[in-house]
Amino acid sequence: MEFAAAAETFTEHLQQVRRLSPATVRAYRSDLRDLGESFDGADLAAVDLEVLRDWLWKATQRGDARSTLARRAAAARSFFTWALEQELIDHDPSLRLVAPKRGRTLPTVASQDAMRELLETKQAAAVEGDPIALRDHAILELLYGAGIRVSELCGLDIDDLDLDRGTARVLGKGAKERVVPFGVPARIAVAGYLTRARPSLRARAETATPAVFLGARGARVGPRTVYSLVADALAPFVGAETVGPHALRHTAATHLLDGGADLRAVQEILGHASLGTTQIYTHVSAERLTATYRLAHPRA
């Protein structure tokens, strides 16, 4: 079978059967396309361990990060495991493929004081009733208050919100649905946006949409708009040039643990499939505690 055709069938399997996120499917498709272009011949059976090792070596020479190399190796292993199960090949060439381990990098996290100042600034900007200012304040409060992903926020519909209970129903990775809580400040900000801003934004569109958050033209707000909003608002507080909505998710998780939340509860709130993914925030909390100790203790 042709490699390209097999790779495309595999990515359709990831999307339709395994229901992986669109971003993961795009990454795997890109990785397999790069693999297909790295060796001569279009036959799937032509790929052996040496081809795979040479492919990763070329990526190393390009300067790809260790995390990228690890993902490429994972994509190849997943693809060839599937191909063997489908009897497209008679052996798996990726069994002995080794990629460098991902480097552990702690996520960017804002302090509680920084978040308080940021949100108070946005709240003050929304007092005059500008629709975009009201929307931006509500978005930031909800991203931080619920710890949701940018895709989950952009996908929210009106029926997904329960302001009386302070919960939102979101669709996470793998099309898994969960209900997440958020606090009083987020409830107030979202309620204010829905009553004072959303109607005027909705009137700018030719067709109605059930989306909670709308763009300047009245359509569902997109991830790029949210990225720009968070980057402009948060970067000065964390001292980073590139920062996105995920930093608010990291911050929410870290502050939950700092406040004594159970690790498994935080896992459920964030929608992590593995507890190991959530445990990174225990390292963040420990480092913050250590830094405080070194600054404050006379014998540190």
For residue 204, give both structure tokens: 């700018």
Contacts of 277 (CB under 8 A, 6+ apart): 267
Is 254 within 8 Å of 181 (Cβ atoms)?
Answer: no
Which residues are marked as active site? 149, 173, 246, 249, 272, 281
